[in-house]
Chains A and B, each alone.
With several copies, the nearest count.
Chain A
């Protein structure tokens, strides 16, 4: 059999393995096996590719694989669970850069005037460049190496439009005669890299998760277009799968935040912090850890709502200890996970899993809300916007319509945060002033640890 046919046959198997891998991520029971299937698909694809006739020397391949592989292993072993968002952003960025270089190489070695090849080359460079620098900025913001705030400068919109316009115009010129426009090609490379920076710097740090998942779909797109450049089916299949993934996750996040994708990417979300009717402002009740302990000791049903603040305080291990003590004390403990709680979609689940909390204790919003009125105590830990009842009732609120966890329906609500400050959306939270709400001020980790010692002391006594 012709070796090219054999290779493509194996590619089919690889694609099926990739698809199966993603499908098995549909359940925590099969997810790990899915990841291993996917790895085997990748290994197969890599090995048969090295058998192809075009591959005649191995020294550069070996060099690249060793360097990249070592760096990848290093990054993966060092990354903490709280650092997942920035780590994924970083990997994305280099993936985008790598794809861009593949296309550049293809163009350099086999330049052609065929539009069927040169349009995909242009698109790959453009999208790959944006993915690379965009991801780097996202990485910087998430890891706090860059200021998290939205960065804007006067006339920024004009610069953006100028760069985009230049990219389009240069694109047309390039495509008119790709064989003889190497300088224009280089200009496109540079402008794409600039474009990536310009697109991401004005977006605030808290919106980075959406940016990552949009960049994820870009990475998919680049794989697809590169597939068209080098006529490779696996790249097209995988690119499509990844593209779909990025789009779906972005949409889910935007829905959960009740904003449009356009608003996240270009809007810059101007929070309208109008504390309405400040005159009749009620006092929020504050409670001591000792009193809170007494209430918790009597509770039969507890729901814990973790938020961004829990991740910031790194309180996931403390919360697990508390939940175990509560259970020992006879209470049923459930965790209510809001889709955009934490720093990226599903991030809260990973953090709690890291702290050894069983995943069948983690409930989605829609499952827990109908049972909320039977709950004795709801403990809100470092969450704010995702439990703000204004989203249900106050049409003038910027978060109106965002689905929330209805903690206010529980018999008692404890809110663990450091101050009365607002959350990411910058909106006042009526919940804090409710009759049945008690604030427990302080760093989430410290408060939880104090609660834990109260429980231990009472058990020892």
Chain B
């Protein structure tokens, strides 16, 4: 049954994604892309569990640590670039 619940969650999220994203105006499409890029680094969570459960085996330690580093890079870089762009959007007089 777990699997079917996950599918349910997937279906709802896809729908939600389409409804939300289709409302973002072209004005913000570049920040939108980099925001989506940042959150796609959510696999960091999986990497954390992998790296945190490691103790001895060299090869898997390397795999897991690299996974943490790369996904963190994705998340941190993505969020800060988005922030950098968004803070430039100003209305007259702001």
Complex contact A239–B40 (CB within 8 A): yes
CA–CA, A379 to B43, complex, Å? 46
* A107: nearest chain-B partner, CB-CB: B63
Residues of A within 8 A of B28 (CB): 25-26, 28, 31, 346, 349
CA–CA, A101 to B71, complex, Å? 10
Residues of B within 8 A of A216 (CB): 33, 36-37, 40
CA–CA, A216 to B30, complex, Å? 12
Q: Mark A215-256, 1 if CB is under 8 A from B, else 0.
A: 010011011101111111111111111111110110010000
Residues of B within 8 A of A109 (CB): 50, 53, 60
Complex contact A94–B76 (CB within 8 A): no
Complex contact A98–B9 (CB within 8 A): no
* B81: nearest chain-A partner, CB-CB: A76
Give the one of A9, A76, A105, A224 with max B CB within 10 A: A105
CA–CA, A97 to B69, complex, Å? 10
In the complex with contacts A75-B77, A241-B39, A26-B14 CB distance below 8 A: no
CA–CA, A57 to B81, complex, Å? 31
CA–CA, A368 to B3, complex, Å? 50
Complex contact A356–B90 (CB within 8 A): yes
Closest Cβ of chain B to A283, distance in Å, is 36
The number of residues on chain A lying at the interface, defined by a beta carbon within 8 Å of a beta carbon of chain B, is 118
Q: Is the interface of A mostly helix, strand, loop or mixed?
A: helix
Complex contact A28–B46 (CB within 8 A): no
Known A67-B72, A73-B80; 8 more pairs at CB < 8 Å: A32-B86, A64-B72, A91-B37, A226-B43, A246-B36, A349-B27, A350-B85, A359-B91
Q: Tell me the A residues contacting B by CB distance below 8 Å.
A: 4-5, 8-9, 11-12, 15-16, 18-23, 25-28, 31-32, 34-35, 38-39, 42, 45-46, 49-50, 52, 54-58, 60-61, 63-65, 67-69, 71-73, 75-77, 79, 81, 84, 87-88, 91-92, 94-95, 97-99, 101-102, 104-106, 108-109, 116, 212-213, 216, 219-220, 222-224, 226-246, 248-249, 252, 337, 339, 344-347, 349-350, 353-354, 356, 358-362, 364
20 A-B pairs (CB sep. < 8 Å):
A19-B20, A22-B36, A35-B82, A45-B45, A60-B52, A63-B65, A91-B81, A94-B73, A102-B46, A228-B6, A229-B46, A237-B8, A241-B16, A245-B17, A345-B30, A349-B30, A349-B89, A350-B88, A353-B85, A359-B89
Q: Tell me the B residues contacting A by CB distance below 8 Å.
A: 1-55, 59-61, 63-92, 94
